[in-house]
Structure 1
Amino acid sequence: MNSAPNGPVSTGRSSGRPVVGICARTAPVTLMGAPLTVSFTLQSHVKFLASAGCAPLLLPLLPGVEHLIDRLDGLLVPGGPDVDPSLYGGAPHSRTRGADAAVDAAELALVTTALRAGLPVLAVCRGMQLLNVGFGGTLHQHLPEVTGHDGHCPETEVFTFGRNRLDLTPGSRIAEILGEDSPEAACHHHQAIDRIGAGLTATAWAPDGVVEAVEVTDHPFAIGVQWEAGQTEDERLHRALAEAAGRFSAQAAGHHLVDGGDLVRPATSRG
């Protein structure tokens, strides 16, 4: 995965509210007695981005989805099933669940293309793990075997968040966004980063040393967080993504004509 912009990106999208793509998840449901499979995202992702002035767009993870990048100003990669361990040279653990090679391939292509185009990217939980794998990193497939406890994904009869105090790197993007001396995160994940991928920098940790946030080196805005952003009332990460998407959109509005009449976006910079 290459984080640097790879030349100009064409755009045929008109100006307006910044468009932020959200990677869809799929699940079986029963509606009016009929079994169905649906594509969905958390309504909170839609609500938070919309309230921050963006137009959220659900992106089904089908082959070729990366070609929609030139219609986007930002990308949110939410939580979801485990990443296929074959992508980082691992054999499936007995607790690894929901891996889908086709979905992983589509999402990796989408994220890679977004990063090369300089789009702001926020990757949450599975999203952060996929980001790390895309940069050549590896994952712990069942974290309790590493930490000796289930604090990151409490094994209780009802869904329960773990709570972690975050140790942030001063001056990092995530520290700027959270703006606290001792922030706490709500988590629910049984996998986590093992070896960090080249091109990523860890910028937050749990007290037990588990990596809780990474940032793509030399990218305007590309952050991965391990906690469940979107499942609490904390909108700071979504607002930060929306602001970055707004800056990207404003730069895109300054597109100019080049030989052949193609429209191109100017290079982005961290702002």
Structure 2
Amino acid sequence: MNSVVNDPASAGRPVVGICARTAPVTLQGSDMVVSLALQTHVAYLAAAGCTPLLLPLLPGVERLADRLDGLLVPGGPDLDPELYGAEPHPVTRAMTPDADRVELTLVRTALEARLPVLAICRGMQLLNVLHGGGLHQHLPDVTGHDGHRPGTPTFTLGRHRLKLEPGSRIAGVLDEEEPETACHHHQAVDRLGAGLTATGWAQDGTVEVVEVTGHPFAIGVQWEAGQTADKRLHEALARAAGAPDIG
């Protein structure tokens, strides 16, 4: 285990990188753009025995992979459709092409190093594109409903029951029949990438989980892990990264 933290309290704890997102904020009356991570990702990984490390998506960040024990790729803006050979849909928005390419390189490097990877929402979509897959750019065009990202005036999570592949890694992590997810996405897997296995689906057939075939722990989930009190995926990532079992 390679530590990048000198805090004695963090000694011996696996370091899990979290890909940063950028967002405009107003702080003390001043407008600025910040690099950030969802605090629950930080808190859940820390509670599971890891040291979270924020990774700004700048060229060369992949060189930090050999100082990590795991990687969390969170939700974020839509991916640049050029990455999977498509023209932008009218509602595809907030694209960050430069950051997309840096993040693809980072995730590829992490996978090649056999690091445990948990990819959430956009992260799962990026994992699919990395493996040559494509995306539905606006899921309601396919499903005929907005249940995956309810069209309400305020942020609302959609709720779906999952069908999981028996014996899959995700089935072992969640350990229940037809778990309920909390999601907020309008894009999803269309063409599945080579080297990925779909292991979870919503009732409408939307792919909700992919796993990198033959990798010890590389899972993509379409729901908003981190937006609820469910810590099971973060704890599974922590264990795969070398944290002691807290169960």
Length-normalised TM-score, structure 1: 0.86
Q: Is the 8 A contact 2:2 2:68 kept in 1?
A: no
Match of 1:224 in 2: 220
- Read off the aligned partner of 1:191 and give its amino acid letter: Q
C-alpha root-mean-square deviation of aligned residues, in Å?
1.5
SS of the residue corresponding to residue 16 of structure 2 reads strand
Which has the higher Rg, Structure 1 or Structure 2? 1
Q: Give the distance between the partners of 1:84 and 1:150, measured in 2 at CA.
A: 22
SS of the residue corresponding to residue 68 of structure 1 reads helix
Does 1:35 pair with 2:31?
yes
Count the aligned residue pairs: 239
Does 1:174 pair with 2:173?
no
Q: Is the 8 A contact 2:128 2:134 kept in 1?
A: yes
Q: CA deviation at 1:99?
A: 1.0
Match of 1:257 in 2: none
Q: CA deviation at 1:12?
A: 8.1
Q: CA deviation at 1:16?
A: 1.3
Describe the superposition over 1:144-202 as per-residue Cα deviations: whole angstroms up to 9, x where unpaired: 01100000000011111111100000000000000001211000000000000000000
Q: Give the distance between the partners of 1:99 and 1:29, measured in 2 at CA.
A: 18
Q: Is the 8 A contact 1:12 1:70 kept in 2?
A: no
Shifted more, 158-167 versus 232-241: the winner is 158-167
SS of the residue corresponding to residue 108 of structure 1 reads helix
Aligned-pair identity (%):
71
Q: Is the 8 A contact 2:150 2:158 kept in 1?
A: yes
Does 1:76 pair with 2:67?
no
Q: Give the distance between the partners of 1:136 and 1:99, measured in 2 at CA.
A: 19
Q: Is the 8 A contact 2:3 2:13 kept in 1?
A: no
Q: Give the distance between the partners of 2:112 and 2:183, measured in 1 at CA.
A: 29
Does 1:62 pair with 2:58?
yes
- Read off the aligned partner of 1:169 and give its amino acid letter: E
Q: Is the 8 A contact 2:13 2:49 kept in 1?
A: yes
Q: Give the distance between the partners of 1:83 and 1:223, measured in 2 at CA.
A: 19
SS of the residue corresponding to residue 88 of structure 2 reads coil
Does 1:152 pair with 2:148?
yes
Q: Is the 8 A contact 1:203 1:215 kept in 2?
A: yes
SS of the residue corresponding to residue 101 of structure 2 reads helix
Q: Give the distance between the partners of 1:231 and 1:115, measured in 2 at CA.
A: 25
Does 1:134 pair with 2:148?
no
Q: Is the 8 A contact 1:76 1:121 kept in 2?
A: yes
Describe the superposition over 1:197-217 as per-residue Cα deviations: whole angstroms up to 9, x where unpaired: 000000000000000000000
What 5-or-longer segments of structure 1 have no aligned partner? 1-9, 250-271
Q: Is the 8 A contact 2:3 2:67 kept in 1?
A: yes
Q: Give the distance between the partners of 1:42 and 1:12, measured in 2 at CA.
A: 22
Q: Give the distance between the partners of 2:110 and 2:187, measured in 1 at CA.
A: 24
Q: Is the 8 A contact 1:48 1:239 kept in 2?
A: yes
Q: Give the distance between the partners of 1:116 and 1:134, measured in 2 at CA.
A: 12
- Equivalences for 1:197-216 in 2 at 5 Å? 197-216=193-212
Does 1:244 pair with 2:240?
yes
Does 1:17 pair with 2:31?
no
Q: Is the 8 A contact 1:65 1:110 kept in 2?
A: yes
Q: Give the distance between the partners of 2:159 and 2:28, measured in 1 at CA.
A: 37
Task: Give 1:189's match in structure 2, choosing from 185, 191, 197.
Answer: 185
Task: Give 1:234's match in structure 2, choosing from 204, 210, 230.
Answer: 230
Against the structure 1 CA distance between its residues 194 and 229, is the aligned structure 2 distance closer, same or farther, given a 3 Å change threshold? same
Q: Give the distance between the partners of 2:2 and 2:60, measured in 1 at CA.
A: 17
- Read off the aligned partner of 1:47 and give its amino acid letter: A
Match of 1:105 in 2: 101
Length-normalised TM-score, structure 2: 0.94
